[in-house]
Amino acid sequence: MELIQSFKLKRKSDFGEVSRWFSYGSNLNPWYFEEKMRERGSPLRLEAVKKGIVMGFGRVLDNRSSTHGLAYAIHPGSGSVHGITHEVPSDQLPFFLRMEGVLDDDFHVSNRRRYEVIEVDVHADPGSPNSTGTAFSLRGDSTCEGSERENRAREHYVEADKYVRAALSGAQTQAIDEAPFLADFGWLGRIRQIP
């Protein structure tokens, strides 16, 4: 499979009939997720959802997005990211990855992709020494910072605001710490005020 070769994935067998994914941004929100998938002709829903934590990463609103200016991405670091795992059936995986900007319109790995597919260990809680399982996730591959990040937030304020609100609502729905999303919501509001 093209994904396995492109991203040097080890758990090849996990791309069977169903694959398990760790999501941490707007995909926490089932209604927003389903709307995005329907717009792309897919009936995919969040299925077999479980809360989880990935250690050794941080979540940042710094990935370029063509639809809402900025999107959430995870980057290696010393922190942890709270999110959910969910299952994606193999027949819907191409639609899911196209929605995420990994695959192009022809369902091939995009030369201008927004994310890299990675493998992560998911824990049930931060005190758990052992992972509860493995999953695939998406690491930002189109990050921006400084003035470019601020300009993208200003130029796409309405879309970025809707996106962060969807992620915040998803965190509340999934009973995940909403503080990081509230902080991003506050940052967007402050950026909008700066001329």
The pLDDT of residue 86 is 95
Q: What is the pLDDT of residues 35-82, one digit of tens each?
A: 999 999 999 999 999 999 999 999 999 999 988 999 999 999 889 999
The pLDDT of residue 165 is 96
Total-model pTM:
0.91
- In the chain the domains, ranked by start, together with CATH numbers, are 2-188 (3.10.490.10)
**Is residue 19 a contact partner of residue 93, using CB atoms and an 8 Å limit?**
yes
Quick one: tokens of 177? 């710490």
Q: Residue 52: in which H helix or E strand, if any?
A: strand 47-65
Mean pLDDT of 15-35: 93
- Which residues are CB-contacts of 70 (< 8 A; sequence separation ≥ 6)? 61, 62, 63, 64, 144, 149, 152, 153, 156, 160, 163
Q: How confident is the model at residue 195 (pLDDT cuts 50, 70, 90)?
A: low
